[in-house]
Structure 1
Amino acid sequence: MSKQLMKPITVKGYAVAEPTETQKFLLKPIEQQVNSLGENDIFVDIIASSICYGAFHHVGNIPGHEIVGIVRHVGERVEKDGKIAVGMRVGMGWNYSSCLECGSCKHHFENLCDSSKPFMNAPIGGGFQNGVVWDSRFVYPIPEKLKSVDAAPLFCAGAAVFSPLKLYRESPYSKPNEFKVAVLGLGGLGHLALQFASKMGFHVTALSTSANKEEECRLFGANDFHVHTNENSVKQLNSNFDLILNCVSTDIDTDKFVKMLKPFGKLAIIGVPSSGSIKAGAFAMIMKNRSIVGSGGASNDQIREMLNFAAEHNIKPQIELSSLEKVNEAMEKVVKNQARYRIVMVVDKEIVDKENQ
């Protein structure tokens, strides 16, 4: 049953208006009304919302899937359950809901559910506005140590790199103290991947196209740095890594990176290739039991673990602050690869200022 609110809530945000040559689409102001909540729903006043490049791959009515806010209203079942309460600071990411009954859900991989619904399916969804309605079973309390503007990018970028580091951290070929991780690309995903991998205790190598990024990569936790367009570097890296996280959103020479893997090594595809496909030769994989794996975000349990790990180890994104009113300007900067490394839109300035005191 739905719960009628005592007073309708007007939500103001920005929705897709039309394509443009420079940034694929233009966002325009809109207003929506929330009159009631489903039994598992909550209404959240947004504090901060960050911009993921994935917004350009899945354009719904209102983009945005890295969201932090304060719970203001809860549905009847949520109220009885008590796990999510009014006044709690929570975050939301790509997944709005799943069936919670299939094999994937029962094995606690809700993000892999065939009936999983992304954020654009929420009744009032998407982070480019001042409030959202969300399924309470897919929101996550935020540790006190994490500021809202730092927590927002963790709900997509942080989750996306944390999950494969947890799932693929063991190898029949390398002992735990020999396990080597490489991160391809220093961007919204890559700069967080370096931090998580380093704090997990792995030997971490940054792979970049630019020698100018070495100092920055080492500050984020890289033990080694290589320009992968340098032929001499590439040759010495063959059969060197147990896991490579591909964090770039362009097409890559997949075979080159497969050959950098040790036997049983894995190339994890996190960034979406610009062509939408991956081409790789079979021989290099077959001869050394190498594999290419996908990484479909993180499960509910993994997101909770990731947030606690980030808080404990002081892992946070490098961000630029903006506002909802400047969303088109911010989106254009992201698509031109000028963001360093996440643009976070401040929605509730009073709370953000208070956290920074």
Structure 2
Amino acid sequence: MPTQAHAYAAQSGESPLAPFNFQRRDVGPGDVSIDILYCGVCHSDLHTARGEWGGTLYPCVPGHEIVGRVTAIGGDVTDFAVGELVGVGCMVDSCGHCPSCEASEQQFCETTGMVGTYNGTDTISGGHTYGGYSDHIVVKQDFVVKVGHDEKDLAAVAPLLCAGITTYSPLRHWKVGPGQKVGVVGIGGLGHMGIKLAAAMGAHVVAFTTSPDKVEAAKALGAHEVVISKDDAAMAAHANSFHFILNTVAASHDLDRFMVLLRRDGTMTLVGAPEHPHPSPSVWNLLMNRRSLAGSPIGGIAETQEMLDFCRDNGITADVEIIPIDQIETAYARMLKSDIKYRFVIDMASLKQQPA
């Protein structure tokens, strides 16, 4: 039978998130039911809840950085058992049979498009999907991943399901590794993960920031060098030298300042989605040195599992601040001011203290 879920939801783009009850579907043959222990707070949550990207379906229950414990499995489930620690990221369904899905690149599903963990079309129950700001979730086993970190680290694992895979995927795709000079632009929720991951992959990591007060913090994350990107001389000293640059900044800015830092055949990949378009980069900076400008979203399910295993093996988690769910609006306000190092995570046990 369907089960009642307790959650926090936005009823409109202007209303604050507040307690909300709804029905989760019954556990089907291929489903996994998960008691949500922690849910990370992504900037996408705020944009969607506020209707800033358009197309928000209300009530909106955000949250796609989910870690929890399996409480029930369907009869056809073979990869998971009750009691296991698991994660759910940004998607919960796709067509399953197009070339991208067959390659475990479900984020690029060519038939239906991926189904978002929240604000997506619910292909099973109808209506739209509700995310991780809730006490439990029911997900197809094909979109659940195993968490191998110690249970004491679960809160810091949650952001890996979005911020982690968003930065891991391009680093892997462009084959970042030893002997390479890699730049990471921006030191926030995404950037701090990019620094940790690139360093663990063996690259020489240079962090770029506009804030001098972030220099020591970037080095503590694993950056070998830190450049203040407003300093023309410091930027010029790195011209034509980078194999790869991961640009995590989600605000419109001058891409040419970084394009000229790439060496021959170097690539800068954008993972941040700005509210307003970037100024168009100079074609000449692309032509010269055969440079490339690319973009990358999240990774597929197999790559997400690979990322979690890599982070487990290398002792990598996100730097987090744990909050009760009734502080979500305060967290959103602080996010807008970049007043967080580097990711908020909701302790979902706090939901039990909220009105039913």
Normalized against structure 2, the TM-score is what? 0.88
| From 41, 45, 57, the counterpart of 2:31 | 41
Task: Output the aligned Cα RMSD.
Answer: 1.9
The SS at the match of 1:33 is strand
Q: 1:35 to 1:237 in 2, by over 3 A?
A: closer
* CA distance, structure 1, for counterparts of residue 300 and residue 185 of structure 2: 23
Q: 1:177 to 1:73 in 2, by over 3 A?
A: closer
Q: 1:302 to 1:210 in 2, by over 3 A?
A: same
Q: 1:241 to 1:268 in 2, by over 3 A?
A: same
| From 32, 41, 44, the counterpart of 1:51 | 41
Q: Which moved more, 1:182-191 or 1:105-114?
A: 105-114
C-alpha displacement at 1:29, in angstroms?
Answer: 1.1
Q: 1:268 to 1:348 in 2, by over 3 A?
A: same
* CA distance, structure 1, for counterparts of residue 339 and residue 243 of structure 2: 31
Q: Kindly tell me the number of residue pairs found equivalent between the two proteins.
A: 332
Matched with 1:169 is 175
CA contact (8 A) 1:125 1:133 kept: no
How do 1:1-357 and structure 2 match up within 5 A? 5=1, 8-20=2-14, 26-34=16-24, 36-59=26-49, 60=56, 61-78=60-77, 82-114=78-110, 115-120=113-118, 121=120, 122=122, 125-145=130-150, 147-169=153-175, 177-276=178-277, 279-348=280-349
CA contact (8 A) 1:259 1:284 kept: yes
* CA distance, structure 2, for counterparts of residue 106 and residue 277 of structure 1: 34
The SS at the match of 2:192 is helix
Residues 117-171 of structure 1 deviation map (CA, whole Å, 9 limit, x = unaligned): 111235563011111121211110100436210110000000001111111026x
Unaligned runs of 5+ in 1: 171-175, 351-357
CA contact (8 A) 1:324 1:345 kept: yes
Q: Which amino acid aligns with 2:27?
A: L
Seq. identity, %: 29
C-alpha displacement at 1:9, in angstroms?
Answer: 2.5
* CA distance, structure 2, for counterparts of residue 333 and residue 287 of structure 1: 41
The SS at the match of 2:309 is helix
Matched with 1:353 is none
Q: Which amino acid aligns with 1:100?
A: G
The SS at the match of 1:192 is helix
* CA distance, structure 2, for counterparts of residue 51 and residue 167 of structure 1: 26
* CA distance, structure 1, for counterparts of residue 106 and residue 95 of structure 2: 8
Residues 245-283 of structure 1 deviation map (CA, whole Å, 9 limit, x = unaligned): 111111120111111111111111011112145621211
Q: Which amino acid aligns with 1:39?
A: P
* CA distance, structure 2, for counterparts of residue 283 and residue 18 of structure 1: 45
CA contact (8 A) 1:43 1:131 kept: yes
Q: Which amino acid aligns with 2:268?
A: L
Q: Which amino acid aligns with 2:254?
A: D
* CA distance, structure 2, for counterparts of residue 17 and residue 181 of structure 1: 43
Normalized against structure 1, the TM-score is what? 0.88
Q: Which moved more, 1:114-123 or 1:233-242?
A: 114-123
Residues 287-320 of structure 1 deviation map (CA, whole Å, 9 limit, x = unaligned): 2111111111111121111111111111111111
Q: Which amino acid aligns with 1:119?
A: T
CA contact (8 A) 2:5 2:24 kept: yes
Unaligned runs of 5+ in 2: 50-55, 352-356
Instruction: Flag the structure with higher strand content.
Output: 1
CA contact (8 A) 1:182 1:204 kept: yes
Q: 1:276 to 1:67 in 2, by over 3 A?
A: farther
CA contact (8 A) 1:11 1:33 kept: yes
C-alpha displacement at 1:97, in angstroms?
Answer: 1.2
